[in-house]
Structure 1
Amino acid sequence: MTLKTGETLPDIELPATGDKTVKLSDYRGKALVLYFYPKASTPGCTQEGQDFRDAMDAFTAAGTVILGASRDGIKAQENFKAKQSFPFDLLSDKEEVLCKAFDVIKLKKMYGKESLGVERSTFLIDADGVLRKEWRGVKVKGHVEEVLAAAQALGAS
C-alpha cells in the first residue's frame, strides 16, 4: 500500500525520541510535515534537519508540527537530535513500516554499488490527516523554504 495525495494517513505507531511511542493520529488537528532522510548524522541529513530546526518558529506559527524519520535505531536518533538541538521528534523506522507506506525505499547507487535506501522525501499532511503535498528526491538547498510556503498556504486555506 502506497499513500497517494488526497488519501488519509494510515495510523502507524513508531518509537520516537524522548522515550516516546507516537501514532500518526496523535497529530490530528494540526498540519504535519513528515520528512524522511537516509541516515542520521550524515552531512546532507544534518543540513536538512538544521534547516527545519531554524525554521521551527515559522512552522509553529503556521500551525504545523515537524517529524523526521529514517531507518536508524532510536539511540542514533536520540544522539542526532541532541547533537543538533532539534526541537522536533525523530522516528525510528527500522522495520520500514512508515517508509513502505510512503514508498521512500528506493534502489540507490553509490560508488558503483547498488543498495536499497531511503530516498530523501517530505510530505505535508493536513489537520485531518490527509496527504496534501509530497516532495521526492529532495535536494536540501532551498527545500525547507518551499515546504514552509506550502504549510503556510495550507494554514491559510
Structure 2
Amino acid sequence: MPVVALNQPVDDFEAPATGDQTIRLSDLRGKNVVIYFYPKDNTPGCTTEGQDFRDRMDAFDAMDTIILGVSRDGLKAHENFRAKHQFPFHLISDMDETVCQHFDVIKLKKLYGKEYMGIDRSTFLIDKEGILRQEWRSVKVKGHADEVLEATRNL
C-alpha cells in the first residue's frame, strides 16, 4: 500500500474497530475524518489524548468530523479502553500494522536504552472528498486536540 501524501487522495483501507464494526475510509466520504495513531491503550499520554478528543467531540460533530483512534492493541483492549474513558468515537485495531504502514507511522523508538519498532504518535486530517489536508507527526499531546480542531475549522 502506498504511503499517504499531503493534498492527495488517501487510498481506501478497511480495518476492524470497536462496536463490532469494520471501518472503510471510502464509507466516510462526505465527512471530515481525523485519524490519530497512538502507541498503547491505557497509558498516560494515550489516555490524555483520547480524553482531549472526547472533550471536543461536540465541536468536531458540528463540523461534520469523525474521529478515529488507531493502535496495535486488540479489539478487547480497545473496547475496555473506550468504555472506561467514555470515548464517543471508535478505535481501530491494527494488530497487523496495515493501517500504520499505510500512514507510515511505525518508527524506531527508544525506551530505557532499548530500541524497538513502535507507533510514532501521529494525526491525519482528511477532508470530505478524501484528500489528506494536514498531518502531525511526533505529536506532543498537550494542546494537540485544539490544533486539530482549529485545522478542521479552516477546511
TM-score band by shorter chain is over 0.9
Gaps of 5+ in 2: none
Please report how far the alpha carbon of residue 99 of structure 1 lies from its aligned counterpart in structure 2 after TM superposition: 0.3
Q: Which residue of 1 aligns with 2:95?
A: 94
Confirm whether residue 135 of structure 1 aligns to residue 136 of structure 2: yes
Per-residue Cα deviation, 1:39-79 (whole angstroms, up to 9, x for no partner): 01100000000000000000111111100001111111111
TM-score, normalized by length of structure 1?
0.97
Please report how far the alpha carbon of residue 11 of structure 1 lies from its aligned counterpart in structure 2 after TM superposition: 1.2
Separation in 2 of the partners of 1:2 and 1:62? 27
Separation in 2 of the partners of 1:48 and 1:31? 19
Q: Which residue of 1 aligns with 2:78?
A: 77
**Percent identical across equivalent pairs?**
63
Task: Kindly tell me the number of residue pairs found equivalent between the two proteins.
Answer: 154
Separation in 1 of the partners of 2:22 and 2:125? 21
AA partner of residue 8 (structure 1): P
Confirm whether residue 146 of structure 1 aligns to residue 153 of structure 2: no
Q: 5 Å matches for 1:19-34?
A: 19-34=20-35
Per-residue Cα deviation, 1:65-116 (whole angstroms, up to 9, x for no partner): 1000011111111111010100000000011111001000000000000000
Please report how far the alpha carbon of residue 7 of structure 1 lies from its aligned counterpart in structure 2 after TM superposition: 1.6
Please report how far the alpha carbon of residue 26 of structure 1 lies from its aligned counterpart in structure 2 after TM superposition: 1.3
Separation in 1 of the partners of 2:126 and 2:22? 19
SS of residue matched to 2:148: helix
Please report how far the alpha carbon of residue 31 of structure 1 lies from its aligned counterpart in structure 2 after TM superposition: 0.4
Q: Which residue of 2 aligns with 1:119?
A: 120
TM-score, normalized by length of structure 2?
0.98
Separation in 1 of the partners of 2:95 and 2:27? 20
Q: CA RMSD in A?
A: 0.6
Structure 1 runs, 4 residues or longer, greater than 2 Å off = none
AA partner of residue 135 (structure 2): E
SS of residue matched to 2:10: coil
Separation in 1 of the partners of 2:78 and 2:27? 20
Separation in 2 of the partners of 1:55 and 1:151? 12
Please report how far the alpha carbon of residue 10 of structure 1 lies from its aligned counterpart in structure 2 after TM superposition: 1.5
Confirm whether residue 47 of structure 1 aligns to residue 48 of structure 2: yes
